[in-house]
């Protein structure tokens, strides 16, 4: 019953009835478990490469800004960066087409004339096939967020086509596997367009684990690489555990994975989001016992 409730689609979005005092005490407890605070590498840390686990627009911007700060303000060497996203249709929470254009214009009006943006705007926003509309999926939204954070000098370089059939009935065959971008100051960033998969907690889409599988297959890191994994609390530890399990199953025990992420956002359902992640951590512990510790030492002490 608990799993069905807390691991349902968009887990943790249903606000539970409780008094402000109860909510405050509960938030204090999940805070002691390390589910609210930001996670940062030490200043000057060096990584062979970095992966960013994408999500909704706001999360993508926050995670991309974190990567930029780590490079420019904290002296971290991040290596090439891969942004994991894929076949998920744009949701209301991502914003409307007008919202997206307003964000681009607010960041820099020149972005509205960027060749990639112009190509998106050439698509019919009323197309009966939602997959063919401008900024249709998380993949396009992620590139738009990269433009907002890194500016109009961002260039699109190599692009690798996807081959093979669609992975899920009702979701079209993807045409792009990954797109590489470069910033004016020399950051190489690859946007992975992961295929949709069936998943137990909601409608088909890519998952952290499936993105990790595609990353290891199509964009494999160097042997022994130290990899920074950027997500955001309260998801940080769970995403790291998902990736660790996939890496071990693929025989990549040589990789050293390190978490980073912004603190949990201030939302009315902040507590519920944490409870949803705790449920998933416990579920992972039960299903993958002995594979990887899903709950941190701090969480166990709490």
pTM of the full structure: 0.86
Tell me: pLDDT of 286 over 60. Answer: no
Q: Higher-confidence residue: 286 or 221?
A: 221
Q: Which two tokens stand for residue 59?
A: 């999360």
Which backbone phi and psi does 58 adopt, to 5 degrees?
-60, -45
From the list 205, 224, 195, 185, the residue with the least C-alpha distance to 81 is: 185
**Partners of 258 in beta bridges:** 228
**If pLDDT is split at 50, 70 and 90, which confidence band does 104 have?**
very high
Q: What is the mean pLDDT of residues 81-108?
A: 96
Tell me: pLDDT of 295 over 60. Answer: no
Determine the pLDDT at residue 284.
64
Q: How far is CA 52 from CA 27, 155, 203, in A?
A: 26, 19, 22
Measured distance CA(59)–CA(52) in Å, rounded: 10
**If pLDDT is split at 50, 70 and 90, which confidence band does 302 have?**
very low
From the list 34, 28, 18, the residue with the least C-alpha distance to 277 is: 34
């Amino acid at each position: 019953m608990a799993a069905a409730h807390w691991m349902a689609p968009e887990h943790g979005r249903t606000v539970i009835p409780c008094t402000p005092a109860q909510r405050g005490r509960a938030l204090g407890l999940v805070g002691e478990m390390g589910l609210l605070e930001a996670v940062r590498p030490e200043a000057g840390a060096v990584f062979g490469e970095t992966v960013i686990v994408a999500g909704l627009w706001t999360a993508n911007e926050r995670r991309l800004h974190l990567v930029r700060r780590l490079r420019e303000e904290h002296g971290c060497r991040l290596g090439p960066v891969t942004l994991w996203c894929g076949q998920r249709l744009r949701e209301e929470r991502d914003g409307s087409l007008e919202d997206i254009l307003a964000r681009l214009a607010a960041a820099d009006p020149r972005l509205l004339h960027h060749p990639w943006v112009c190509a998106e705007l050439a698509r019919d926003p009323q197309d009966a096939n939602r997959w063919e509309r401008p900024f249709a999926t998380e993949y396009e939204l992620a590139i738009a967020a990269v433009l907002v954070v890194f500016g109009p000098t961002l260039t699109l370089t190599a692009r690798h086509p996807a081959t093979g059939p669609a992975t899920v009935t009702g979701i079209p065959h993807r045409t792009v596997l990954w797109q590489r971008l470069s910033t004016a100051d020399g950051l190489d960033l690859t946007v992975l367009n992961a295929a949709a998969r069936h998943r137990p907690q909601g409608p088909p889409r890519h998952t952290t684990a499936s993105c990790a599988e595609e990353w290891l297959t199509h964009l494999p890191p160097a042997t022994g690489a130290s990899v920074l994994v950027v997500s955001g609390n309260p998801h940080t530890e769970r995403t790291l555990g998902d990736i660790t399990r996939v890496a071990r199953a693929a025989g990549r025990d040589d990789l050293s994975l390190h978490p980073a992420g912004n603190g949990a956002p201030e939302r009315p359902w902040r507590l519920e989001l944490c409870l949803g992640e705790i449920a998933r951590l416990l579920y992972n512990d039960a299903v993958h016992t002995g594979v990887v510790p899903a709950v941190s030492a701090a969480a166990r002490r709490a």
